[in-house]
Amino acid sequence: MPVHKAQMHPLDDYLRTERLPHVWCPGCGLGIALGAYLRALKNVGMDPQETVMVSGIGCSGRAAGYVKMDSFHTTHGRAIPFAVGLKAARPELNVTVFSGDGDLFSIGGNHILHAARRNVNITVLAVNNYVYGMTGGQLAPTTPESSITTTSPYGNIESPFNIAGLMAVAGAAYVARWTVVHERRLQKSIEKALTKRGFSIVEIMSPCPTTFGRRNGMRGLVDSMMYYRNNSVIKENPSPLDGVIKPGEKFIVGEFMDAPDEPTFEDKLEELKKSEFLKTSQADRTTWILEHRRHLETLSKIIGGGE
Amino acid sequence: MKVSSETLEGEYFLSGDAAAAEGAVAAGCRFFAGYPITPSSEVAERLARRLPQVGGVFIQMEDELASIAAILGASWGGKKSMTATSGPGFSLMMENYGLGMMTETPTVIVNVQRAGPSTGLPTLLGQGEFMQAQFGSHGVFEAIALAPESPQECFDFTIRAFNLAEKFRQPVVLLMDESTGHLFEKVRIPPKKDIEKVDRKKPKETPHPPFMPDEGLIPPMPIVGEGHMIHSTGLTHDEYGRPVITAEAQGKLVKRLVEKIRKHADEIMDYEEVMTEDAEVIVVAYGITARSARRAIVLAREKGIKAGLIRLKTVWPFPEKLLKKYEDRNFVVAEVNQGQALIMVERAIGKSATFVGKMGGEPHRPEEILKGIQEAYDAGS
């Protein structure tokens, strides 16, 4: 009997196939999100050898372990600053952060604001499943009001972040939101984000039937997917202020921000290194004066008997 | 002074902080990420000027959590990287200090110690992070920490910290203190050719598993963008960086992380002995305290007490064997805390030592240590 080898998956070149199957639950949207990213990478022709994925902690954080490229599974909340350091050190590499809503917007919330403010040329794929999945379904900074989680057993009394609004105000160059039901649009958006010069972020709304759906009337995979299909409204050029998610109301998906190109953080670092000023005697003098001024201040304090 | 050159050969009047910054440049550091904090800010200020001049990158990050994450990222990008901070920032860095240990990432963390706990005395001396450098991050590892006593040593030890980090593939702490950091003294910067620089061992083939150790238990380090398809995780992992969540994998990996330092401890450890041979009383001190102790042993000898000094240049790994050699002598431990090196000294000599501590805020006066020497002498005779 001839043995037929199973046809390889078209994304096998981008995956550490020996690490599969993955740890994600049935009905999870992370596979769709990762698939969209890898197809986007392929379509824009980015060489996996020149691409780095950095992730934090949580279910989404495990993505870095499955991609066949240089990949870093860092600590909780610190994927962004790790990526900022890596990108500044090696600006020629494509750096993508793939992580979850809790990792990026709660414990890592400060870092993402500053990366957007600096216009660091990285792409962030923020998978928003409304909940801390890996730890069993606790309240997240993205959990819609009134939702039941293990740490909001009587319903969430807090408001979630408007991620699109937050990122646009912080200075992101490209901001989009799609759900995993919008797979094609999501992929196109990731392609744009990857090729955008500057800080780009795509929020990927994705179900967690295991720890969120079953406590909130979406027990199965189909229920979860129907939620995204029935409640999302595609809008042309929505305002970032329209990114709010309220219980019982439909939410907007689309491209919230696509700003004209500005110099990136790495552009400015390179420009500084090439600056002629650094080679002038004035640059020498400023360093020298700084040291001396300090010393003189110290001396005057000692001579003056201290203040 | 030609600051735009890589190494500023010559003699200068520099603070310890500035000397540490120059040491970093001379060691080949080309990436610094940090957050302003007294009394270490001068390290960042000087590198903000110096690094762009030598093709390096300086970033002021949003906090210390980000600073240490960024230097780990830059290190995997192939750059020698550093951050500088003080107590509060050092505490914030503890989690990723552990990530650096687990993922065997060479980098240097300068901690210019001030008095704590908490905000404490931001502008004044403390030595409260002796134990934190070894035990501050959760889990098991062996730290490497160096304690300079002068601006010259801030320069020299920063270079050595980079060399040790590169050789042993792990974060190294330069445990400075406020007094040394703000002290101005003559610093001699040798010609570039006389500065020993160690670079991380590169893998011979591509791809190379990122955690496959060589005979010295240290894995050669692939860097990103060279086709190694590195995977690195803070989870317990195998030689390929793949997470393996078992006691066996933990036993294998963490044992190696510990052993790679223990095996080379003699090579890493550095100390200075002053008049110990005939000493009846030996003072153990490090950093600025060692300078007071140096004077105290002279005063003691003038009084007829044969006193000596063991100055710890590396505080971790701790030189237990050396101290054990002198276990028949009486010991004094002086430090600006309430007994941290003391625990290690007493463990090594198997008996009590006389302790001369300070709460922080000022260095020891030699007379305070002299009093301790007298007590130890009286107790021993």
Residues A181-234 have pLDDT tens digits of 999 999 999 999 999 999 999 999 999 999 999 999 998 889 999 999 999 999
Q: What are phi and psi of B104, to 5 degrees?
A: 50, 60
B window 209-248, beta carbon within 8 A of A: 224-225, 227-235, 242-243
User: Across the interface, which of B31, B61, B230 has its CB nearest the CB of A81?
Assistant: B61
Mean pLDDT of chain B: 96
Nearest to B232 among A73, A92, A278 (CB): A73
* pTM listed for this prediction: 0.95
Q: Tell me the shortest Cα–Cα distance from B360 to chain A, in angstroms.
A: 19
Query: Considering chain B, what percentage of its residues have pLDDT values greater than 90?
Result: 97
B31 contact residues in A (CB cutoff 8 A): 85, 88-89
Which of B33, B62, B235 comes nearest A85 by C-beta? B33
Distances (CA, A) of B301 to B298, B326, B334, B366: 5, 19, 18, 13
Q: Is the pLDDT of residue A304 over 90?
A: no
Domains of chain B (ranges; CATH) run 10-194 (3.40.50.970), 273-380 (3.40.50.920)
pLDDT higher than threshold 60 for residue A289 = no
| Average pLDDT along chain A | 92
Q: Identify the CA nearest to B271 among candidates B283, B261, B257, B259.
A: B283
Given this model, what pLDDT does residue A279 score?
73
> Domains of chain A: which residue ranges?
12-264, 275-303
Distance CA A286, CA B293 (A): 38
Contact flag B4-A283 (C-beta cutoff 8 Å): yes
Give the CATH fold of the A12-264 domain: Rossmann fold (3.40.50)
The pLDDT of residue B7 is: 74
In B, which residues are within 8 Å of A52 by CB distance?
Answer: 224-225
Q: What stretch of H or E contains A84?
A: helix A79-89
Residues of A in contact with B57 (CB under 8 A): 88-89, 269
Q: Measured between CB atoms, does A68 come within 8 Å of chain B?
A: yes
CA distance B161 to chain A (A): 20
Q: Do A284 and B69 touch (CB under 8 A)?
A: no
The vertex-A66 CA angle with A65 and A67, nearest 5°, equals 105
Which letter does DSSP use for residue A7 in this model? P
Whether the per-residue pLDDT at B3 is higher than 60: the answer is no
Work out the angle between the directed axes of helices B41-53 and A281-303 (0-180°, nearest 10): 160
Please give the average per-residue pLDDT across A251-262, as a whole number: 97
Q: Which of B55, B74, B232 sits opposite A85 (nearest CB)?
A: B74
pLDDT at A301: 67
Query: Which residue from B172, B356, B131 is spatially nearest to B264, judged by alpha carbons?
Result: B172
Is cis: bond before B317, omega within 30 of 0?
yes
Segment B246-305, tens digit of pLDDT: 999 999 999 999 999 999 999 999 999 999 999 999 999 999 999 999 999 999 999 999
Query: How far does the CA of residue A57 sit from the closest CA of chain B (Å)?
Result: 10
Cβ within 8 Å, pair B53-A88: no
Portion of chain B with pLDDT greater than 70, in percent: 98
- Tell me what ipTM this predicted complex has: 0.96
Q: Which of B35, B72, B104 to mutate to test the interface with A (most CBs of A within 10 A)?
A: B72
d(CA B256, CA B214) in angstroms, rounded, equals 11
Lowest mean pLDDT among A293-297, B51-55, B294-298: A293-297
* Residue B212 buriedness (CB in 10 A; 0-12 / 13-18 / 19+): middle
Amino acid at A260: P
Nearest CA in chain B to A19: B242
Q: Residue A306 has what pLDDT?
A: 41
Show which of residues 5-44 on chain A sit within 8 Å of chain B, judged by CB atoms.
Answer: 16, 19
> Shortest CA distance to B188 belongs to which of B17, B48, B30, B23?
B23
CB contacts of B73 in chain A (<8 Å) are 54, 72, 81-87, 89
Residues of chain A contacting residue B100, judged by C-beta atoms under 8 Å apart:
none
Q: Tell me the per-residue pLDDT of A123-169, one tens digit each, with 9 for 90 and over.
A: 999 999 999 999 999 999 999 999 999 999 999 999 999 999 999 99
Chain A residue nearest residue B234, CA to CA: A74
Percent of chain A scoring above 70 in pLDDT: 89
| CA distance to partner chain A, nearest, from residue B241 (Å) | 9
Report pLDDT for A281.
60
Residue B160, chain A, CB below 8 Å: the answer is: no
Band (pLDDT 50/70/90 cuts) for residue A286 is: low
Cβ within 8 Å of residue B111, ≥6 positions away: B40, B84, B85, B86, B87, B90, B129, B133, B173, B174, B175, B176
Letter for the amino acid at A217? G
Residue of A nearest to B76 (CA): A86
The alpha-carbon gap from B274 to the nearest alpha carbon of chain A, in Å, equals 31
Q: pLDDT grade, residue B1 (50/70/90)?
A: very low
Say whether B73 and A89 touch across the interface (CB within 8 A).
Answer: yes
**What integer is the mean pLDDT of B189-208?**
95
Chain B CB contacts of A264 below 8 Å: none
> Please, which residues 259-298 of chain A have a Cβ atom closer than 8 Å to chain B?
269, 272-273, 275, 278-279, 283-284, 286-288, 290-291, 294-295, 298
pLDDT at A291 over 70: no
* pLDDT tens-digit series, residues B161-185: 999 999 999 999 999 999 999 999 9
Question: What local confidence, expressed as pLDDT, does residue B6 receive?
Answer: 74
Question: CA B117 to CA B113: how far, in whole Å?
Answer: 11
Residues of B whose CB is below 8 A from A90:
77-78, 224-225
Q: What is the pLDDT of residue A277?
A: 77
Residues on chain B touching A66 (C-beta within 8 angstroms) = none
What is d(CA B63, CA A223) in angstroms, rounded to the nearest whole number?
42
- Mean pLDDT across B94-121: 98
Span B28-42, pLDDT tens digits: 999 999 999 999 999
Give pLDDT, residue A307: 38
Closest chain A C-alpha to B44 CA, distance in angstroms: 13
3-state secondary structure of B274: strand
